[in-house]
Amino acid sequence: MNVESARRRQAIRLSGIEERIPAGVEDALVSPLRMNFVNQAVNLYSGEFSLEDDQDMFHLNGQVTLKWYPEMKIEWVGTLTDLGISAEKAGNLLVESIFRTYRIQTPNGFHGEAFINRFNTERAELAGTVKESFSQPFRPADRVHFSVVNFYGTAGEPIRYLNSIYRGRLRARYGAYRITFDQVHNYDETYRSLDELGGYGVTHAGLIERTDRQPADPKTVNELIDALNWVLSFNAGRRVGICSIHGSYANGGVIKQYRLPAVDSWKNEANWCPGVENDPGDKLSRLVESVIEKFTIPHWQQTLPRLLQWYLSAKSEGFVENRIVSVHAALVKLAWKVLVEEEKILSAQEFERFPVDMQIRRLLQFCTIPTAIPRHTIRVGGYADGPQLIAAYYKETIHANRRNLQTLNDWDKEAILQLGIQYLELVLLHLMGYTGQYMNLLVGGERTGRPETVPWMKRTENSAVKPS
């Protein structure tokens, strides 16, 4: 059974019989981004719109669509409705327009930056793409709904859709803000299709609201969305995206934003996250809250996205040598941030005097993460511990001088990389104050791993055991 299938088994349908539905079970959230099947293009807008820059303006009638293949993009196509110049002049103008950036605007307030990719003067038709987002101006909203693409199966609290009930709700808090996160009701079909076809699908719907019934501030909402994008991607071991954000108001009005975050095509990815069945204390929800808290600190708000990029690069399918460079960069960056800037254990001068392996070793020791090389997994001798091995592999990769590691086969290289990735995952979890379980992928060489308590909590558990 693959990793995602195992996680999905945690989401258990309880009953389809009304009489057996427990009291107090709330309705499941509905995604504002509607997809009837995976990889389905979604129409975002139909009607009149304009393209304008400092020189020209085009009036068109057409559609704006979110498409997934061959690449994720927001595409527009329209027929010119009011050109006012000859076809020949229009052709010359359109040729020049290919190299310009336009403001796309609609009568109901959608806007964004657009490019013209192609045109047909005979049909007076233009087409192109929108850069990054296609959005209406966001203002404080009573409730903010959002859609999540390509997150793995979750369990959590029971929720109800029509006459069926299933486990699928997680909750988190940040100050006066409450975040509700639901697995979509048709998750069985969605995940089966993603397993079979790959690509993209809406897997979860979310809600942000204030507990004091005050409107949600747009700046705070954007910070929460950025933090959620980070923690969902870190949990999944691949890029997960929030593509649709809808603010709703008591008078029935709705403001819509459609975004183009980096989202990886669906794949089964083994990583640290043990799944909700191994999370009896709701530790994953607390992790979400910790990440959100970190995103309110300016220097972490700048650093965390870079660390995630390095982590996901290490989890990618590229060359092992390139991936170990990403792991090395992330660990050294974290060592500086934690030991020098955050905890002030070392001065900048002391840190710089240390060799790289000592910098990483001190970081792991601070986080109570074992540094010993797991000999049943990594069969490379001559190194004192994992930090020394990773630093040596990095150095010889960069300088293309493999005197000591030239005999490594692909399995050994991958094992060293996985050790570095586990160090990185555990340091990030320690940074966020996580106290739950993680999936140890190095145990016995099993790539699917087994759930274990994080190392810094094992010491607490052991000290709590009284001798008989």
For CATH 2.40.10, the residue range(s) in the chain are 42-135
Give pLDDT tens digits for 277-296: 555 557 778 889 999 999 99
55/73 Cα distance (integer angstroms):
26
DSSP-based three-state secondary structure for 125: strand
* pLDDT score recorded for residue 269: 81
* Domain covering 42-135 in this structure, CATH number: 2.40.10
Mean pLDDT of the chain: 87
Give the residue from 293, 40, 25, 260 showing the smallest Cα distance to 133.
Answer: 260
Tell me what percent of the residues of the chain surpass a pLDDT of 70. 86
Of residues 396 and 189, more confidence is placed in 189
91/95 Cα distance (integer angstroms):
6
Give pLDDT tens digits for 339-395: 999 999 999 999 999 999 999 999 999 999 999 998 777 777 788 999 999 999 898
User: 280 preceded by cis ω (within 30°)?
Assistant: no
Of residues 451 and 90, more confidence is placed in 451
Nearest-10 Cα torsion for 44, 47, 52, 57: 160
Q: Is the pLDDT of residue 464 over 90?
A: no
Q: For residue 233, give Cα distances in angstroms to 200, 242, 315, 337.
A: 14, 10, 11, 22
pTM of the model: 0.89
Confidence of residue 94 (pLDDT cuts 50, 70, 90): low
Kindly report which listed range (21-25, 74-78, 186-190, 319-323) carries the lowest average pLDDT score.
21-25
* pLDDT score recorded for residue 59: 92
Q: Is the pLDDT of residue 228 over 80?
A: yes
Of residues 163 and 234, more confidence is placed in 234
* pLDDT score recorded for residue 86: 57
Of residues 332 and 285, more confidence is placed in 332
51/167 Cα distance (integer angstroms):
46
DSSP symbol at 153: P
Q: Is the pLDDT of residue 82 over 90?
A: no
Q: Is the pLDDT of residue 320 over 70?
A: yes
* pLDDT score recorded for residue 465: 47
Q: For residue 386, give Cα distances in angstroms to 156, 158, 249, 352, 444.
A: 36, 43, 54, 20, 17
Confidence of residue 7 (pLDDT cuts 50, 70, 90): very low
Give the residue from 33, 278, 238, 276 showing the smallest Cα distance to 153.
Answer: 276
Most confident of 91-105, 291-305, 346-360: 346-360
Nearest-10 Cα torsion for 113, 114, 115, 118: 180
Tell me what percent of the residues of the chain surpass a pLDDT of 90. 65
417: its two tokens:
């990389």
* pLDDT score recorded for residue 306: 97
